Amino acid sequence: MRKHTLKAAVIAGLVSSSIAQACTSVAWHTDLGVFTSRTNDWVEATNPVLGNINKGSFRSVQGNGLGDLYKVKYNIVAVLAYGELLHDGVNSQGLQVNTLFYNPMTLSGDLQPDSITQFSFGEYILANYKSVEQAVNEIPKLDIADMQLDGMPMDIKLHWSLTDKSGDRAVIEMDEDGLKVYRGEEANVMTNDPSLAVHLKNKKMHQASWKKADRNTNFGSTGNANAESRYLHAGYFKSKLTEPSSIQNGLMKIASVPYRVPVDAPYKDFGKGMTGYATEWTLSQSLTSGESVMEYNFGDNWNTVKFNVYELMGKEFRKPLSDNNISSLF
């Protein structure tokens, strides 16, 4: 198995993120269109950058200049991390990708120059496909391989949500026993491992109590930050949402659903004492209108940035999202 080396700053960030990443992604189909919200929970500041990837440009199939080049079919506006690695994004056709950590990810280590890796999978989907349906049909045909990076204690292991402006949604997990694709309502909430199949089973155990709930109802969540609890938290509160009165109201409502890990919350001992992590940022979007709200709250930065992905398509920019420095785009 070949190993690859990225610049030191990239490796440093990926090492720490790989062992404690935990996030939640939620989709909501309403009369005013499709809304999504996802949290990015991390042990350190990732300082996300909002950037463009334009139709007709050439990108490396493995990310950050590695592997063969391919030509981009659709304009993309994305949250980029650790160089040019696409974290989350929306393309000009209204297809969105969220990337979350998933420890059970199992991929071949037979990395070829034309292989897509876990680092570039989300970008490749947005660059080449216009809908969830098209992407789901093509994913089984793709050569997807695991990439290991020198200096890392373990692989970066991921799974993805795909959502489009029609309301279609899929969660993609690559497990030991093969590719798993969850569609529709069962894919509308995702967190981290165990598999979505296990989360759905947990939900089934508690969902009956949700119908006639009040503030004292035990809806399954323990109130802790583990993935099982966060999944039930998001599923329960999403089930209580009523139709939004406007796009802004919909964004506000969906942003309130994912569990946000408090600052300094104890999580796990990775051999250096108990590590805390927090929700670094929350990104809420209307795939119908393109309106987006990034709420960044980590370290000394506490900021909200609003932008419209469709209005930014085809432009050339790289702007930090940890502070409000994108006014020049308008």
Say if CB 38 and CB 25 are below 8 A apart. Answer: yes
| pLDDT value of position 148 | 80
In degrees, rounded to 5, the angle at the alpha carbon of residue 313 between the alpha carbons of residues 308 and 319 is 70
What residues does each domain of the chain span? 3-329
What is the CATH class of 3-329?
Answer: alpha beta
Return the C-alpha torsion angle 239, 243, 246, 249, nearest 10.
-30
Q: Judge residue 43's burial from the number of C-beta atoms within 10 Å of its C-beta, 0-12 exposed, 13-18 middle, 19 or more buried.
A: buried
| pLDDT value of position 16 | 34
Tens-digit pLDDT profile for the chain (330 aa)? 445 544 433 433 433 333 335 699 999 999 999 999 999 987 777 889 999 999 999 999 998 788 999 999 999 999 998 778 899 999 999 999 999 999 999 999 899 999 999 999 999 999 999 999 999 999 999 999 998 865 444 568 999 999 999 999 999 999 999 999 999 999 999 999 999 999 999 999 999 999 999 999 999 999 988 999 999 999 999 999 999 999 999 999 999 999 999 888 877 665 667 776 789 999 999 999 999 999 999 888 899 999 999 999 999 999 999 886 665 565
Q: To the nearest whole percent, how much of the chain has pLDDT over 70?
A: 87
Query: How far, in Å, CA of 327 to CA of 311, rounded?
Result: 13
The pTM of the full predicted model, rounded to 2 decimals, is 0.91
